[in-house]
Structure 1
Amino acid sequence: MKRYLSWWLGMLMAALACHAAAQDYPARPVRMIVGFAPGGGNDILARLMAEQLQRRLGQPFIVENRPGASGAIAIGAVKRAPADGYTLLVGPSSGMTVNPALYRELDYDPVADFAPISLVGDIPMILVVKKDSPARSVGDLAALAGKNGKPLFAGAGANSFQLATAVFSSRTAIPAEVVNYKGNSAVVAALLSNEIDFALVDAAAVLPQLRSGHLRALAVTGARRFTLLPDVPTVTESGVQGFAMSFWSSLYAPAGTPDAVVATLQSAISAALREPGVARRLLELGIEPVGSSSQALAETMAREIPLYKQAAKAANLSLSP
């Protein structure tokens, strides 16, 4: 009986200490780890959020870049960090939902190893064609493929875009042969030089060419229209029911982080993204500001991981660890 009482009191004291620590959070600087080199969209987003979190929560939020292995190095580092809210992951969809579909072995489980905090920004893909293409809608693109009787050539940069193109081709019944390029800039150049028929490209890479009229946008792949392209319909609006697919960047803590800490961070992120200046800066990067609940982020991952795994299997896409 004494042994049980001692164990129970110990557990109670530990719970109270954890609660007190969560109530005082943050009491010291917080690291935000990014899996890419400085200067990219994910890094700029992280630094913008770090500035906002520091202003709201009163402690320094320090961005630390750990590039490599498609973001897996950074993800693994946060997985192994103490679950106290002082090491956070700025996690892109490429690392959290695409990598599990493409890599046979990963040293992390994006669901079991992390506590989702908030979906920070949504990065829609734009379905684009060359300016003189006869296709002016998703339906036109499908008809063009049927008329020619052969697959259209589609450009893709990173592995995630290759997988996205495979999903799009399958869901729209547009036969496509994917041509891989080194990044979105090379894909845009291929479109301009008539090497390929269409491509899914992130907004930041293609907005200048759309504004100049050198390329034409047929649709956006997200669940709703992109703020900077209000006249461009979604793929769903174009007749492909239930299609919603985009990349995103989110904030995570290691699994087991106290709920009060997660709630504090989620609330601060949502408040920051409601500020017009913050939202405007993200849109300049081709990122639609979101600020979701933790549950919404968890549901997004639960929906996308099996979708990408199925698509990767159908397209015979698999990479070594």
Structure 2
Amino acid sequence: MAYGTITRRRAVLAAGASLAAPSVRAQAPYPAGQSVALVVALAPGGASDVIGRIVTQGLQERLGGTFFLEHRTGGSTSIAARHVARARPDGSTLFLGSVSTFALTPLTMRNPGYDPINDFTHITQACDSLFLLAANPRWPSLEALLDAARARPESISYATWGIGTTSHLWMEDLCRRAGVRMLHVPYAGSPPAMIDTIAGRTDCLPALLAACKGHMEAGRLRGLAVPTATRPPQLPDVPTFIEKGFPDFVSTVWYSVQGPPGMPAPIAARIRDALAEHFADPAVQAFMATQGMLPPEIGEGPLLARIRRELALHRELMARSGVEPS
């Protein structure tokens, strides 16, 4: 992929720069003598893989050692979260967390098996990712889809990447705002949900731009609307929900990096500093922009504040949408 070319070029430049200035990489390789798994809670092939590769490449380049993605799907991301929460806090297991894991699943599952605040070492945010309502190309517009849903309640289906995920709650809110009833079809991750929407077995789905842009360019999916304040430069021809008469319907999906509880502060700090350096790189920022991703606010404090804030927001949204814990 293009990102690999960018990072190889950057590595050559960094080799010369490291002679002139100290860096995170000047320390001993991290962690000594072992590989590091970045646990991903969603199925392979989706947008989480893209940000996961950005994170692992950055850590490997700057800290040495071997970093790889380990997928543990299911349970609305709770299976992966419980695995990390019970792992050894020696730096060999990290977690690519998300808004689903930390601000939704604890509310939509009666017993997720973890505490979103206390059962993790919160390292930093990783990115905000743009998403949109995408549909099978037979639907020419958002108006056509919603009109059909109004005329034939629950005949129009929407795919999500799981019950209680951002995609599910977001679609419930959209249906409530639009005054329609659609059929929810949950999948174990976004790739199979997208495959079935492309095939016409489902009508539409909330999709991260990083995962669906290629399908849109090839005509396999159509972007109906995007929940941003203005049209993003990556999607100049896709209207916003605000343009379509849904005021204040603005949202993004965010990712984060966590470790097990009790991770030594120096280990967490090394990961955080390496990621801060990585996300500040103009080449990384340029690549993320092509994927509809925004660089994160680095630090444990901003991440914890966001989790607490969005737990409160989603609790209110669940109450308005009538979504009950299961």
Give TM-score scaled by structure 1 length: 0.70
Secondary structure, in 3 states, of the residue corresponding to 1:72?
A: helix
Report the CA distance between 1:108 and its aligned residue.
Answer: 0.8
Report the CA distance between 1:113 and its aligned residue.
Answer: 1.6
Report the CA distance between 1:91 and its aligned residue.
Answer: 1.6
1:153, 1:38 → 2: CA distance?
25
Of 94, 99, 112, 1:88 maps to: 94
Q: Deviations over 1:262-288 (max 9, x none)?
A: 44423321321233543455566x451
2:286, 2:58 → 1: CA distance?
14
Secondary structure, in 3 states, of the residue corresponding to 1:179?
A: strand
Q: Deviations over 1:49-98 (max 9, x none)?
A: 222112223x3143252514333333223223454545321223332223
1:168, 1:142 → 2: CA distance?
12
Report the CA distance between 1:177 and its aligned residue.
Answer: 1.4
Counterpart for residue 180 of structure 2 = 175
Counterpart for residue 156 of structure 1 = 159
Secondary structure, in 3 states, of the residue corresponding to 1:155?
A: strand
Q: Which one-letter code corresponds to 2:209 in the other structure? A: A
Is the Cα contact below 8 Å between 1:156 and 1:179 reproduced in 2?
A: yes
Report the CA distance between 1:187 and its aligned residue.
Answer: 4.5
Q: Deviations over 1:24-71 (max 9, x none)?
A: 8956256233145884343453343222112223x3143252514333
Alpha-carbon spacing, 1:64–1:169, altered in 2? closer, same or farther (3 Å): same
Secondary structure, in 3 states, of the residue corresponding to 2:156?
A: strand
Counterpart for residue 226 of structure 2 = 220
Q: Which one-letter code corresponds to 1:40 in the other structure? A: G
Report the CA distance between 1:105 and its aligned residue.
Answer: 0.5
Identity within the alignment, %: 24
Q: Which one-letter code corresponds to 1:100 in the other structure? A: P
* Residue 40, structure 1, aligned to residue 25, structure 2: no
Instruction: Structure 2: state its 5+ residue gaps.
Output: 1-26
Counterpart for residue 185 of structure 1 = 194
Q: Deviations over 1:216-250 (max 9, x none)?
A: 42322356754522443543565544433333321
Q: Which one-letter code corresponds to 1:176 in the other structure? A: R
Alpha-carbon spacing, 1:188–1:205, altered in 2? closer, same or farther (3 Å): farther
2:37, 2:110 → 1: CA distance?
27
Report the CA distance between 1:126 and its aligned residue.
Answer: 1.2
Alpha-carbon spacing, 1:234–1:212, altered in 2? closer, same or farther (3 Å): same
Matches within 5 A, 1:104-119: 104-119=110-125
Q: Which one-letter code corresponds to 2:54 in the other structure? A: L
Counterpart for residue 99 of structure 1 = 105
Is the Cα contact below 8 Å between 1:223 and 1:245 reproduced in 2?
A: no
Counterpart for residue 57 of structure 2 = 51
Q: Which has the larger radius of gyration?
A: 1
Secondary structure, in 3 states, of the residue corresponding to 1:107?
A: coil
The more displaced of 88-97 and 222-231 is: 222-231
Alpha-carbon spacing, 1:289–1:32, altered in 2? closer, same or farther (3 Å): farther
1:215, 1:46 → 2: CA distance?
24
Is the Cα contact below 8 Å between 1:154 and 1:178 reproduced in 2?
A: yes
Matches within 5 A, 1:205-244: 205-213=211-219, 215-222=221-228, 225-236=231-242, 239-244=245-250
Instruction: Structure 1: state its 5+ residue gaps.
Output: 1-22
* Residue 300, structure 1, aligned to residue 300, structure 2: no
Q: Deviations over 1:133-191 (max 9, x none)?
A: 5646xxx4698479749577241232222222112223x3342313315432244236x
The more displaced of 231-240 and 106-115 is: 231-240
Alpha-carbon spacing, 1:184–1:68, altered in 2? closer, same or farther (3 Å): closer
Alpha-carbon spacing, 1:263–1:246, altered in 2? closer, same or farther (3 Å): same
